[in-house]
């Protein structure tokens, strides 16, 4: 059996693509992966998704999946291990099976880069966050820490000053790699204190974060810094390893788009954080998912030579 469309990924982009594809009678196959739900599974409360004044990230993903189960869409929870775009129909390998398909929608998302600390992982959603735009408003009048030195860190630090009492920006080097405009914005903000040449060695706290242990890389001196929030802003990694050498990717691994959701391969579309390096919001990813499904429908309806 050759599928009409296979959707890879199960965050807002993948789920929305599945809904639109099912409504167009494309009988989509959604390959969710073992860790279904995307980055919202690591988010606590969501207050900026239309229709839900306040909802937990995992609960929102569960509701999207419930929607999928109620429509004409098949889903499997295997991880995709290989994709062959050099043959047509395309081949998608998941679990112990090989699926052939006329089109693919890639919605595999991007993963936030973390510091790699055990307590950091344990306290994600309990004061530790990889998304300032998502979680910043929950830290009103609190003292927080941001880690990073690029534009993302500058943007996050500047953004959350609207809510928090103070921001301590920790960077491992003695200068930022961010653009001068972003640096100037941060360095002129009286709410932001910068600590250079320093790394976070541990995250402190039991039920919630209570502080961080930091170490100066030049002197070796360590100290515990009290904080009620830790925002990791050292970048994201798009989940595109499967497509290296088969699709156009930029220097950071994001899928290069050709005319809205179209990739460099005919009949292969991309939606959400896997190609969006700027916004990284659930509602925007969902919008990309709907567009990808509509573009896939158009592709499938066109006569092939």
* Catalytic member of 134, 273, 276, 295: 134
Note the helical H segments in the chain.
12-23, 57-69, 118-122, 132-135, 151-160, 180-187, 282-301
- Residues 150, 234: contact at Cβ < 8 Å? yes
Strand order in the sheet with 128-129: 128-129, 229-232, 143-147, 166-170, 192-195
Enter the tokens of residue 292: 């990808």
- Residues 40, 12: contact at Cβ < 8 Å? yes
User: Residue 73 catalytic?
Assistant: no
* Catalytic member of 24, 73, 135, 276: 135
* Catalytic member of 24, 131, 273, 276: 131
- Residues 151, 173: contact at Cβ < 8 Å? no
- Residues 240, 249: contact at Cβ < 8 Å? yes
Enter the tokens of residue 261: 């959701």
User: Residue 134 catalytic?
Assistant: yes
Which positions are catalytic? 131, 134-135
């Amino acid at each position: 059996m050759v599928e009409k469309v296979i959707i890879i990924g199960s965050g807002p982009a993948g789920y929305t693509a599945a809904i639109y594809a099912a409504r167009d009678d494309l009988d989509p196959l959604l390959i969710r992966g073992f860790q279904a739900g995307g980055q919202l599974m690591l988010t606590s409360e969501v207050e900026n998704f239309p229709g839900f004044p306040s909802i937990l990230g995992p609960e929102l993903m569960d509701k999207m999946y419930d929607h999928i189960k109620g429509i004409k869409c098949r889903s499997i929870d295997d991880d995709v291990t290989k994709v062959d775009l050099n043959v047509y129909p395309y081949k998608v390998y998941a679990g112990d099976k090989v699926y052939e398909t006329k089109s693919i929608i890639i919605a595999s998302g991007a993963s936030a880069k973390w510091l790699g600390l055990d307590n950091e992982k344990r306290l994600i959603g309990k004061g530790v966050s990889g998304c300032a735009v998502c979680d910043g408003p929950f830290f009103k009048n609190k003292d927080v820490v941001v880690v990073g030195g690029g534009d993302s860190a500058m943007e996050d630090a500047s953004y959350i000053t609207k809510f928090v009492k103070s921001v301590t920006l920790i960077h491992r080097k003695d200068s930022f790699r961010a653009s001068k405009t972003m640096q100037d914005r941060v360095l002129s903000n009286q709410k932001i204190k910068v600590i250079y040449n320093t790394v976070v060695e541990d995250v402190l706290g039991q039920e919630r974060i209570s502080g961080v242990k930091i170490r100066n890389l030049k002197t070796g001196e360590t100290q515990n810094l009290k904080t009620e929030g830790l925002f990791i802003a050292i970048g994201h990694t798009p989940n595109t390893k499967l497509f290296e050498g088969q699709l156009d990717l930029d220097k950071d691994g994001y899928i290069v788009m050709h005319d809205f959701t179209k990739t460099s391969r005919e009949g292969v579309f991309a939606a959400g954080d896997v190609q969006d390096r700027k916004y990284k919001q659930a509602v925007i990813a969902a919008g990309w998912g709907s567009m990808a499904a509509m573009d896939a429908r158009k592709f499938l309806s066109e006569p092939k030579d």
